[in-house]
Amino acid sequence: MATLSIDAERLLGRLRELGQIGRAGDGRLIRLAGSDADRAGRDAFVAWLREAGLDVAVDRIGNIFGIWRDRVNTDEAPVLLGSHIDTVIDAGIYDGSYGVLSGLEVIETLKAAGFAPARPVAVAAFTNEEGVRYAPDMMGSLVHAGGLSVEEALATIGTDGTILGPELERIGYAGPEEPGFLKPHVYVELHIEQGPVLEREGVSIGAVENLQGISWQRVVIDGAANHAGTTPMSMRRDAGHAAARVVTFLRDRAKNANAPTVATVGCMSFEPNAINVIPSHATFTVDLRDPDEGRLRAEEAALAAYLRHLAGAEDVTISVERLARFEPVTFDRRIVELVEDAARNRGLASRRMTSGAGHDAQMIARIAPSAMIFVPSTGGISHNPREHTPDAALVAGANVLLDVVTRLAAE
């Protein structure tokens, strides 16, 4: 078969159309899982799946699958593509959606060319990858892979007090299929890098060979509120100051480490939150990431030891809640090599790399050989309305995905 190429105009047009669904009154893109905006985005995606002649299936956690079964042995496990279409607050238009719509575009291109796959090819839009409204993130793919029960996931209470299960029913996406009903032969996810490496090095394609482990914790520090003007510094039980010490401890440790470890305190609140009152209560989150499980555990242990020391030094009480914990993932070597081959054959420079962000691929890797393809992100910006990847780079990534799928689906 002659070298195929995707329909660039169709892919880019759909990306922009989906990118307008979920705009708030102030123009921000907000398509949180289970929301009315999520329903509108899902409706558009399902309409495109049906237009492409794919079988549409929705499971109980709301994962959407478009399945191409024409003229193939339907008993064979499918080549699965996909990502997610939910967003963060004030998002860009590429994160997740690019992988979903490119997966659909690849199937449509192969169908139009008369390609006869040896097994089904499917595209998935997984529920609640971002985890903004409901925790944990990557929930739909985690449930699909058997890492979280569907009952527990559906009972999750959101940041706005809603429950995920009833919200999925309300928007019409509490499907009948049991999660995991579609066990893939392989899984490939195309995504923008969300980092600066490819652009900085002038490389077109990232062949993602592994993904960082992630540790999320919530830390609560209790001290004593008192007057900001009359309480001597030596007599304070200042929860705010103790929290600040944790922030600097984490940053200094990560910066001074000869390793790719990263540490972030992304949320923090004080009580009573008054300018002239010493904080009696501080709550904050800690996000630790490293591609090596041993180093990640060492960082968790170092934080725990520091918190024990801090409690005595500052005369405060500290409690910790684990929010999420995912081990590092090593992707399938053969698929990574196929990505490199496809890039080379297209005349594109590629490099192997680690994903610093979490993705649905890390969950599906639990049940099937998996890998990811990255394309450059301008300025390394993501989770931001300035998130951007040039059209030519988007098309190049989709064509690499097309070539990889052509090889995998012919097996």
The DSSP result for 22-70, as a single string, is: TB-TTS-BB--TTSHHHHHHHHHHHHHHHHTT-EEEEBTT--EEEEE-T
2 found inside a domain: no
Which residue matches tokens 């520091």? Answer: 306
In tens, the pLDDT along 279-326 reads 999 999 999 999 999 999 999 999 999 999 999 999 999 999 998 898
Question: Do residue 269 and residue 345 come from a single domain?
Answer: no
- Using pLDDT thresholds of 50, 70 and 90, give the confidence band for residue 103: very high
Q: What is the pLDDT of residue 10?
A: 98
| CATH number, residue 227 | 3.30.70.360
pLDDT of residue 73: 63
Q: How far is CA 62 from CA 57, 65, 91, in A?
A: 9, 10, 21
Look at residue 3 and tell me if it is in a domain.
Answer: no
| Cis-peptide, bond into residue 272, ω within 30° of zero | yes
Percent of the chain with pLDDT over 90: 95
Q: What is the pLDDT of residues 348-380, one digit of tens each?
A: 999 999 998 889 999 999 999 999 999 999 999
Residue 244, pLDDT above cutoff 70: yes
Enter the DSSP assignment of 241: H
Q: Which two tokens stand for residue 204?
A: 């077109």
14 and 133 in a common domain: yes
Tell me which of 302, 326, 350 is where a domain ends: 326
Q: Which residue positions form the known binding site?
A: 84, 95, 130, 191, 383
For residue 193, count CB atoms less than 10 angstroms from its CB and return exposed for 0-12, middle for 13-18, buried for 19 or more.
buried
Q: Please indicate, yes or no, whether residues 337 and 318 belong to a single structural domain of this protein.
A: no
Counting the structural domains of the chain, the total is 2
Mark whether 268 and 391 lie in a shared domain: no
Binding residue positions for Zn(2+): 84, 95, 130, 191, 383
65 occurs within a structural domain:
yes
Domain that residue 280 falls in:
213-326
Same domain, 269 and 175: no
Comparing CA positions, the residue from 74, 125, 120, 79 lying closest to residue 368 is: 79
Coil/strand/helix, residue 258? coil
Residues 222 and 351 in one domain: no
**Mean pLDDT value across residues 157-173:** 98
67 and 194, same domain (yes or no): yes
283 and 365 both lie in a single domain: no
End position of a domain, from candidates 289, 311, 326: 326
Instruction: Return d(Cα 204, Cα 348) in angstroms, integer.
Output: 6
What is the pLDDT, as a whole number, of residue 396? 98
Mean pLDDT, residues 49-73: 93
Altogether, the residues listed in the chain come to a count of 411
Q: Which of 326, 348, 376 is the last residue of a domain?
A: 326
Half-sphere exposure of 166 (CA within 13 A, CB side): 7
Same domain, 317 and 341: no
Band (72; pLDDT cuts 50, 70, 90): low
CA separation for the pair 34, 266 (Å, rounded): 23
pLDDT tens for residues 111-135? 999 999 999 999 999 999 999 999 9
Whether residues 244 and 182 share a domain: the answer is no
CA angle 322, 169, 28 (to 5 degrees): 70
Residue 163 per-residue DSSP state:
B
Q: Which residues contact 56 (CB under 8 A, 6 or more apart)?
A: 46, 49, 50, 64, 65, 66, 67
Check the CA dihedral 185-373-67-147 and report its sign: positive
pTM summary value: 0.89
328, 213 in Cβ contact below 8 A? yes
Same domain, 268 and 372: no
CATH number at 102 reads: 3.40.630.10
> Rounded CA gap, 36 and 22, in Å?
8
Element holding 350 (H helix, E strand): strand 350-355
Sign of the CA dihedral running 70, 72, 78, 82: negative
Do residues 256 and 308 share a domain? yes
- Tokens representing 197? 């490496």
Whole-angstrom distance, CA of residue 297 vs CA of residue 304? 11
In a domain, 113, yes or no: yes
